[in-house]
Amino acid sequence: MGQGSGRQERSKNQDLATSDTMQAEENVQSDNGETRETKTRDERLRLVFGMADLKNKAIGLYNIGQTCCLNSLLQVFLMNTHFTGILRRITVPPSASQKSRSVPYQMLLLLEKMQSGKQKAVCPKALAYCLSLHRVKCKQLCFTPTSLCDLYTIWVQEYMVCQECSFETKRNSNMITLPLSMLDSSCHLLKTLEECLQCFFCPEELTGQNMCFCEHCGKKTPFTQSMKLAHLPQTVILHLKRFCFRKSASTHKLCHYLSFPQDLDFNAVLTEEQCQTDASEKASWQYELFAVVAHSGSADCGHYCAYIRSITECKWYCFDDSEVCQVRSNIHNSFVAFWTPPDFFHSEC
């Protein structure tokens, strides 16, 4: 699975001022008559853009109008050194119009602004405008380049078995997040993250109105639907489905506390029947909690903020739009959780 260490060498020029960055960008665009020894466009840009690191002071993001969810996710992604390492290697768009429409490039500019700026918070207006042009939703914002998508892609095998003739079909599918229900099949509240994971991979009986057409039987029959985990990425995103529909079709939020472990071993949580992979793949299925996006309020009106564990200090920080402060790791109202391999954090932490 290629889960390498999150520790990367920091650029010597990470503290360049914004004016220096713009000058470097102009130099990148004018490649006339340069010697072979001159660094390529991407290599020179890499010298300019640093990676997220709280040793350079945490920078907030201004809320420019209902952008708390966007701000929270941006802070999590830009604090992930695996993510920023890929982001810094993207191909720079050649024209100004292409730059303004490139989501990865605008994220790169925002990252540099956060690293070089001296202010308490920066404005994500250019990136927000770029996202609106492409009608990109928050959960899709960082997965335009394939390399970024691969960092978060989970692979599963889906099985469908006819209960009358035992005819079986299977297919491979992928997802960016594991959408975990907080209710079991009997609508009872699940109280731990492990219970939610086990419930997600439990077989489901499709009967009554949910019956499927069986090609062998030539009619609709009861089916058993199940999924087996095949591959976990460098960073695993778990989405807790706190919003659900009542019989009246209105949206309701499940606000009960759900326990989060600091360390998560998928081998210990899932059974052999719920996994479809070899031993070498499963050996890397151990993760540590890196970040949580939490939601406060009701289903109709609320607010998002991010709790992120610093890789350099191993302390937890709350990113609440423009405000950033250190907090304890006991997170309530968890909504989306991000998990990384143990070597993502320094060994002494």
**10 Å Cβ neighbour count for 284?**
16
Q: Which of 256, 295, 303, 332 is catalytic?
A: 303
DSSP assignment of 72-102 equals HHHHHHHT-HHHHHHHTTSPPPSSHHHHHH-
In this structure, what token pair is assigned to residue 182?
């907080």
Catalytic (active site) residue 217: no
Catalytic (active site) residue 231: no
Please give the Cα distance from 134 to 146 (Å, whole number).
Answer: 17
DSSP assignment of 114-134 equals HHH--SSEE--HHHHHHHHHH
Strands (E) located in 154-262: 154-162, 168-175, 178-181, 204-206, 212-214, 219-221, 223-231, 236-241, 243-245, 251-253
Q: 44-67 in b/e burial notation, b at 16+ Cβ within 10 A?
A: bbbebbbbbbbebebbbbbbeeeb
Q: Which of 68, 214, 275, 305 is catalytic?
A: 68
- Which sequence positions are flagged as catalytic? 68, 303
